[in-house]
A and B are shown apart, each in its own frame.
Chain A
């Protein structure tokens, strides 16, 4: 496997279910991200992990719970979701910018998990 992989690719769940999304990056990066992509909306950054430490949580409801056991793996645990949570969930990774001119942290994206909440 190369790049960023995500499983499952499609997930249908009821509002009372508990499920998890998995992301794995094979690029040796030190930062990982969860995004939510809904139709006609900008990508919404949900969580950021740098060096396995969560550095950002953009007011995401507690029914979404991230976990980053190591720098290569990222999970998004889901429970008691709502129908409006149906979306494409994208994982990305990057090498944290070292700072100074000429450096940047280009993000590499996975294929996404299409989540449908019934």
Chain B
């Protein structure tokens, strides 16, 4: 069975600095997708960034980028120039064979 692990329950970053959230997963599938979702205190979860496993190039979305290491089954999220609005729970998610699996989340605090 597939699993997703986020080993950092909580992280803090100074405003304007860079932070990296880690995610590892386990799967025997070769075709899958990986996502980072953000859940602000208002609770509505939104997609931050996605990565197709067949693509070697790391996805980038403005200040958000990923470091996708397929062989190591690692999928970390880097947030550059952190802003107060980035404070939220961040969930790593795996999608394979039409089924989503989420990690336990990392709470990110942004310090002014």
Contact = CB atoms under 8 A, between A and B. Distances in A.
B44 A112 contact: yes
B43 A102 contact: no
Contacts of B101: 42, 45
Given A42-B102, A42-B103, A56-B99, A111 B54 contact: no
* Interface size bracket, A side: 20 to 34
Contacts of A110: 44
Given A45-B99, A97-B98, A104-B33, A111 B44 contact: yes
A105 B43 contact: no
A43 interface: yes
B22 to A, nearest CB: 15
B38 to A, nearest CB: 10
Interface in A15-70: 33, 40-43, 45, 56
A80 to B, nearest CB: 26
A88 B44 CA distance: 11
A111 B46 CA distance: 10
Given A90-B45, A106-B47, A43 B98 contact: no
A107 interface: yes
Interface residues of B, number: 25
Nearest to B91: A43
Interface string A84-99: 0000101010001100
B32 to A, nearest CB: 9
Most buried by A among B9, B45, B47: B45
B95 interface: yes
Contacts of B75: none
A25 B99 CA distance: 20
A81 to B, nearest CB: 21
Interface of B: 4, 9, 31, 33, 35, 37, 42-47, 50, 52, 54, 91, 95, 98-105
Question: What 7 pairs across the A-B complex have the smallest Cβ distances?
Answer: A109-B45, A43-B102, A111-B44, A104-B33, A42-B102, A112-B43, A42-B104
